[in-house]
Amino acid sequence: MDKKPFFSIITISFNSEKTIERTIKSVLAQTCKNYEYIVVDGNSKDATLDIIKKYEPMFEGRMSWKSEPDKGIYDAMNKGIRRSKGDMIGIVNSDDWLEPDALEKVWNAFEENGKSLDAVYCGWIKFHYNNGDVQVMKTNHEFLKKWAESKYEIAGIRHPAVFVPIKLYDRFGVFDEKMKIQADTDLLLRLYFGKVDFFYFNIVITNMADGGVSNSSYLKACNDYKAILKKYDVSGLHYFKLYALFYLKALTKKWIPQSLIMKYRKLGH
């Protein structure tokens, strides 16, 4: 495309033949067309690339893709960010999908916020559980403030429904590729403690499917949390207290019934 897009939408994929078509179609269906669509594939061996190639012409030049080995999901996300030409970046993973008016709603929020590219734009998500239940997860600034400042965690905000201006990536850095699960939390903490404005608009813009990496690897997240605590010089008794609570929560989430997880998430966690 010749004209510089406002949005850069990034999808990372690896052997995603079962879900990526739904993701691609959700981007293609956007009511706002002022975007580029970047697919970063990790050298898939299934039919993922066939699906990508099938839909590429329908984007009329707005889609680009590349398939090559990567070092993990955050390496792939960073590749997408580095290839982006737009002012505002959104990441929709290959098992998630956007609402048809998602970009239009983000643009409206951008206008409402004085067209500021110094803010993070936060919408709501619909979380789709494996048993068919659907839960709307809303934003809550008080939870974000409380959890970031007391526990170095993110609550009340959902990364799949977050749009970040590229200038903020330039200023605060991209995802920490040493992390396996919590690099999105690490990024949002950097933005929060960097005094970046979080602008909330109360509407669902994306859908997240159960079973993703962050929803099935609670215990692996513990090592990332250790790294986050060290970044903020948390040590001694305070460190062990926070880590023990995180580990217990991770272990509990792994085994408690789904109905209780839904109730927990309703609290904004």
Mean pLDDT of 163-181: 97
User: Number of C-alpha atoms within 13 angstroms, CB side, residue 24?
Assistant: 27
Three-state secondary structure call for residue 14: coil
Please give the pLDDT value at position 262.
61
Q: Find out whether 228 and 152 touch, Cβ atoms under 8 Å.
A: yes
Burial of 87 (0-12, 13-18, 19+ CB in 10 A): middle
Mean pLDDT of 216-232: 87
- What is the SS3 assignment for 79? helix
User: Given the structure tokens 């400042």, which residue do they identify?
Assistant: 149
CB-based burial of residue 105 (10 Å sphere; 0-12 exposed, 13-18 middle, 19+ buried)? buried
Question: Which of 84-93, 95-104, 124-133, 182-191 is predicted least confidently?
Answer: 124-133
Residue-wise pLDDT for 122-144, tens only, equals 999 999 988 888 999 999 899 99
Look at residue 216 in the predicted model and tell me its pLDDT.
Answer: 47
Instruction: Evaluate whether 11 touches 97 at the Cβ level (below 8 Å).
Output: no
- 232's tokens: 């903020």
